[in-house]
């Protein structure tokens, strides 16, 4: 087992062969006798892996979550619409997958960017006269998450920065930081239904800014931007020549009285990488099908960005081929009623939640217009027992067995996020428990300081 030892003739006749000179190479001790000591295992996780941080995990893992044993747990924290079984995908979507499987045609490698036919189907589905798309403008990826990763990776070098919403989806930061890209948070305004504070946004732009991330409809806010607001955002990007990464995974998931506007058709000069996928609208996040739609303008992206995206797609040969094989049928045969029913449910559940919570002293829910979430402000000064949103939501679990994600996980303290995909009876029960909890802990803030003197 031990390495062979070598005698070194120091002076040519071997007389002084025991004179020892130690030296050290990569942590291994060698002596002049060149006896190589047993190498120690010294395997360290890479810097990149250490710099890959999921803020949601960091917050949740640090919380003491011990539910009240007398009450069944209700988790309003899970952004997966399939967990309670109340929101199945459409039968046509399932059939498309079965057909793709049974055809035996999708067991091999696809081109790294996806099958031509599948990309064509996506291009046709999202094509509009103002923002035409062809198969070559589409790259299929492993979920919208990989689409976002490719988009950030192709636009940014280490040392660049990207602008991301606050509060916002934590993946942008997780990906960027591990790539050595700086994050700058721009503020959303709860009093303006989470519109972007455009002045704040513009003030953050510098010569190192490589990309502006816009998430509409929003996770965690459930907000949906008006056409005018999107045009104002595009005007900022245009003034500073910053390309946009539009995270439109909740595209078209908006309540009936609202309209979803994709960003690309609203501009004729700002290049946009629009990221989307099947996860949310088709309610199949586990299928890991996503895409990037390349909306170039005046060759601002040019061949270079396209080729860069193709090269990056070759790293892991992205999307599952069975789902690719089913994609055309999924997009073209999902009945309108499926989308409408999903939206109807989400709207009704979020109304139940919003109206229940808005009548609770100390809470300020912000009415959502789409997606699957709503944010609730906590008047911390009226809950003096609790330090912050993490503490508040921790106690809500201990006493009422209701878990909501503290918005510190989205870099936005003193709020929590509610997922509205849970069954209606659970939503009603959760809201009544939140009411009980707040009524018990609410202490009206006394503004008159002379009260203390009486």
Centroid of chain to Cα 31: 53
From candidates 285, 318, 362, 377, binder to ligand PLP by CB under 6 A:
285
Q: Of 144, 183, 242, 422, which one interacts with ligand PLP (CB under 6 A)?
A: 144
Among residues 145, 267, 321, 421, the one that binds ligand PLP under rule CB under 6 A: 145
Minimum distance from residue 266 beta carbon to ligand PLP (Å): 20
Rounded CA-CA distance 260/256 in Å is 10
Q: How far apart are CA 188 and CA 192, in angstroms?
A: 8
Residue whose entry in the numeric block shows the structure tokens 């064509």: 120
Nearest-5° Cα angle at 428, 423 to 434? 120
C-alpha to C-alpha distance for 305 and 141, rounded to whole angstroms: 16
Per rule CB under 6 A, is residue 247 in the interface with ligand PLP?
A: yes
Name which of 279 and 363 has its Cβ closer to ligand PLP.
279
Contact flag: residue 170 with ligand PLP (CB under 6 A): no
Residue 219 sits in the site that holds ligand PLP (CB under 6 A): yes
Minimum distance from residue 104 beta carbon to ligand PLP (Å): 26
Q: How far is the CB of 146 from ligand PLP (least distance, A)?
A: 7
Least separation in angstroms between residue 249's CB and ligand PLP is 4
Binding status of residue 217 toward ligand PLP by CB under 6 A: no
Question: What residue ranges in 101-173 does DSSP mark as E strands?
Answer: 138-142, 161-166
User: Which span sits near ligand PLP by CB under 6 A: 221-229, 263-271, 274-282, 348-356?
Assistant: 274-282
Chain centroid to Cα 90, Å, comes to 24
- Site for ligand PLP contains 283 (CB under 6 A): no
Among 97, 133, 249, 294, binds ligand PLP (CB under 6 A): 249
We find the least distance from the C-beta atom of residue 433 to ligand PLP, in angstroms, to be 26
Considering beta carbons, is residue 79 or 325 the nearer one to ligand PLP?
A: 79
Q: Which of 131, 122, 119, 151 is nearest to 262 (CA)?
A: 131
Using CA atoms, how far residue 134 sits from 127, 239, 251, 324, 396, in Å, is 8, 28, 19, 17, 50
Q: Which residue is nearest to ligand PLP (CB)?
A: 143
Separation of alpha carbons 279 and 142, rounded Å:
11
CA distance 172 to 164: 7
DSSP readout, 35-78? -BPPPPP-----HHHHT---HHHHHHHTS-----TTS--EE---
272 binds ligand PLP (CB under 6 A): no
Report the Cα–Cα distance between both ends of the chain, in Å, rounded: 85
Smallest separation, CB 291 to ligand PLP (Å): 10
Candidates 272-280, 304-312, 347-355, 421-429: pick the segment binding ligand PLP (CB under 6 A).
272-280
**Min dist. Cβ of residue 167 to ligand PLP (A):** 11
CA 217 to chain CA centroid, nearest Å: 13
Tell me the site size for ligand PLP, rule CB under 6 A.
14
Contact call for residue 248 and ligand PLP (CB under 6 A): no
Output the CA angle 433-438-443, nearest 5 degrees: 165
By CB under 6 A, residue 76 contacts ligand PLP:
no
Q: Could you tell me the sign of the dihedral formed by the alpha carbons of 198, 202, 205, 210, in that order?
A: positive
> Smaller CB distance to ligand PLP: residue 147 or 390?
147
Which of 77, 174, 215, 334 forms a contact with ligand PLP (CB under 6 A)? 215
* Chain Cα centroid distance, residue 370: 17
Kindly state whether residue 169 participates in binding ligand PLP, applying the rule CB under 6 A. Answer: yes
Q: How far is the CB of 293 from ligand PLP (least distance, A)?
A: 14
Q: Does 223 bind ligand PLP (CB under 6 A)?
A: no
3-state percent breakdown (helix, strand, coil) of the chain, nearest 5: 40, 15, 45
Residue 121 beta carbon to ligand PLP: minimum distance, rounded to whole angstroms: 17
State the residues that interact with ligand PLP by CB under 6 A.
79, 143-145, 169, 215, 219, 247, 249, 277, 279-280, 285, 290
């Amino acid at each position: 087992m031990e390495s062979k030892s070598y005698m070194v003739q120091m002076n040519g006749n071997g007389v002084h062969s025991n004179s020892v000179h130690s030296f050290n190479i990569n942590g291994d001790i060698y002596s002049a006798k060149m006896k190589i000591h047993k190498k120690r295992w010294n395997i360290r996780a890479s810097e990149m892996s250490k710099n890959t941080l999921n803020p949601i995990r960091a917050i949740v893992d640090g919380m003491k979550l011990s539910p009240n044993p007398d009450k069944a747990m209700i988790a309003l924290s899970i952004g997966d619409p399939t967990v309670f079984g109340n929101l199945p995908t459409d039968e046509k979507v399932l059939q498309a997958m079965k057909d793709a499987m049974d055809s035996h045609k999708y067991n091999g490698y696809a081109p790294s960017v996806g099958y031509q036919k599948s990309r064509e189907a996506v291009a046709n589905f999202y094509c509009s006269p103002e923002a035409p798309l062809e198969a070559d403008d589409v790259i299929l990826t492993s979920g919208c998450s990989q689409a976002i990763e490719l988009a950030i990776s192709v636009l940014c070098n280490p040392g660049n920065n990207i602008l991301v919403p606050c509060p916002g989806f934590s993946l942008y930061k997780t990906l960027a930081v591990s790539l050595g890209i700086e994050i700058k948070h721009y503020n959303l305004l709860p009093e303006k239904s989470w519109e972007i504070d455009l002045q704040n946004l513009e003030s953050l732009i510098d010569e190192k800014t490589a990309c502006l991330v816009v998430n509409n409809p929003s996770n965690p806010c459930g907000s949906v931007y008006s056409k005018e607001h999107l045009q104002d955002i595009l005007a900022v990007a245009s003034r500073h020549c910053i390309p946009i990464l539009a995270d439109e995974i909740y595209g078209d998931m908006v309540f009936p009285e609202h309209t979803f506007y994709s960003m690309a058709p609203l501009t004729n000069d700002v290049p946009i990488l629009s990221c989307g996928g099947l996860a949310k609208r088709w309610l199949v996040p586990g299928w890991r099908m996503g895409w990037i739609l390349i909306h170039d303008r005046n060759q601002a992206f040019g061949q270079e960005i396209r080729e860069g995206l193709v090269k990056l797609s070759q790293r892991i040969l992205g999307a599952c081929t069975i789902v690719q094989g089913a994609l055309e049928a999924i997009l073209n045969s999902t009945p309108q009623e499926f989308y409408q029913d999903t939206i109807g449910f989400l709207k009704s559940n979020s109304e139940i939640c919003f109206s229940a919570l808005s009548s609770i002293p100390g809470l300020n829910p912000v009415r959502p217009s789409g997606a699957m979430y709503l944010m609730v402000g906590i008047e911390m000064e009226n809950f003096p027992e609790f330090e912050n949103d993490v503490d508040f939501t921790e106690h809500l679990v201990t006493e009422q067995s209701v878990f909501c994600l503290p918005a510190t996980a989205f870099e936005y303290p003193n709020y929590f996020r509610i997922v509205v995909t849970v069954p209606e009876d659970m939503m009603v029960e959760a809201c009544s428990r939140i009411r009980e909890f707040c009524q018990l802990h609410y202490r009206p803030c006394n503004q008159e300081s002379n009260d203390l003197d009486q």
